[in-house]
A and B are shown apart, each in its own frame.
Chain A
């Protein structure tokens, strides 16, 4: 049943995608839209295939920045959530600071970091890490705090220490919340890296997009967008797949 359902879903998804691109292709063809305004998908794919090395290098760089930043942001979020769970007295102060960082537009910080740290990968990693950090902190913290009261009472009746309750109850309870955060921050990390690259970079998909835009080379611009969209989807799929493996005790979310 489950299998049939998922095959049906895949079929519907593919159909929607195919219809979308066919409509786009046909629309461009029928209206005679010039390529510097909107290239047809076929033209974009063609561009992609004729410059494999350029796009591969850019993708590799941007993906590297995004995933490194993501990793750092996730680790920092996990660490801080754990510290605040174990030392709840610090929560208000630290959260105020965290919200301050969250409220600062990254678009405003990115050029500053580029100014201070140059055109290398470091400013991109920092931006991505800053963007990833907050959702992980918030979600994991609430996961660690909102444990099943009956389980908490049980550990208390065992005379478990604060650390033991954290180790055996709070930390595992937060795993589903971590995945909720990852589903937000995973695809977002690419955006972080690209936006940071716009403010000045020596390579990457963001730089490719920026250069293509200034030259009105729209097939190139769209090629980069296609790659980003595909990479974002793949990252999201990897996260949901890992979630199903890691959080095996919770039934999968379905709409049916």
Chain B
């Protein structure tokens, strides 16, 4: 297992205690594309942030291969991307990538160059521009390019396209899928869009409301390209909807 999570719980303390995650057990194998869906505030982001070592868990253990999250970050095993493109506004497109390159960890594979990643996401003409001159979609493309540059085997994506308009989001989601096919990373992808989750992922984890628990762990074996008029697609969509809408209390415990 590439990512292995045992008895993981997490609480936030700010005046009162918030139980963000409760008793998460999860094994994710290499090159899996996993979608995380669930109501807002159900701890999906917390889980991603715990794996990225941005916060430390209250209880339980996370293993990335043989490593703790901290070591995995040190070894450059994990790349993280959020809803905000998180670009440095005083640097150009190329400058942002050059900075990321500086933090690139040397691994066995031949890492991609700044020029290669720019070309891959279709921003080669914008290298000298500053982020504020780019559209929201282009800014997220740049963030994707930066993710590629990190050359990490695990991509943690916290609703990366949620702030974009429908059309741009669809395009970037397709782009992400094509990147996944080409570079075969393990992807943990938080999304609010059930259709996209079904279209792209190998596996869908459904979270309950706070405290976040995994109430369903559903493999998606529909052959690609997954069209919405496919009956299997519709069936899965219906199933996910009923889990999300009718059972917020998490009685579906691991009902895969």
Contacts and interface: CB of A to CB of B under 8 A. Distances in A.
Contacts of B82: 150, 153-154
Nearest to A249: B89
Interface stretch (B71-79, B230-238, B241-249): B71-79
Interface string A240-254: 000000001110000
Interface stretch (A19-27, A137-145, A157-165): A157-165
B53 to A, nearest CB: 7
B100 interface: yes
Secondary structure at the B interface, as helix, strand, loop or mixed, is loop
Contacts of B49: 153
Closest 5 CB pairs of A and B: A249-B89, A158-B103, A157-B80, A150-B86, A150-B84
A250 B100 CA distance: 23
Contact of A151 (B54, B83, B88): B88
Given A168-B99, A249-B132, A157 B88 contact: no
14 contacts: A148-B84, A148-B86, A150-B84, A151-B86, A153-B52, A156-B52, A157-B52, A157-B54, A159-B74, A159-B103, A159-B105, A160-B103, A248-B130, A250-B89
B226 to A, nearest CB: 30
Interface residues of A, number: 18
B88 A168 contact: yes
B54 A153 contact: yes
Contacts of B53: 156-157
B76 A153 contact: no
A88 interface: no
Contacts of A164: 103
B23 to A, nearest CB: 26
A96 to B, nearest CB: 26
Contacts of B79: 157
Scoring A150, A157, A172, A175 by chain B CB atoms within 10 A of each residue's CB, the highest score goes to A157
Interface string B78-106: 11101110101110000000011001010
Contact of B76 (A151, A159, A169, A175): A159
Nearest to A169: B88
B90 A172 contact: yes
Contacts of B88: 151, 168-169, 172
Interface of A: 148, 150-151, 153-154, 156-160, 164, 168-169, 172, 175, 248-250
B73 A153 contact: no
Contacts of A151: 86, 88
Contacts of A168: 88, 99
Contacts of B73: 156-157, 159
Nearest to A250: B89
A250 B83 CA distance: 21
Given A154-B80, A158-B103, 20 more contacts: A150-B82, A150-B86, A151-B88, A153-B52, A153-B86, A154-B82, A154-B86, A157-B78, A157-B79, A158-B150, A159-B73, A159-B74, A159-B76, A159-B105, A169-B88, A172-B90, A248-B130, A249-B89, A249-B130, A249-B131
Contacts of B54: 153, 156-157
Interface string B117-154: 00000000000001110000000000000000010000
Contacts of A172: 88, 90
Given A168-B88, A249-B90, A158 B132 contact: no
B108 to A, nearest CB: 18
A199 to B, nearest CB: 43
Contacts of A153: 49, 52, 54, 80, 82, 86
Contacts of A159: 73-74, 76, 103, 105
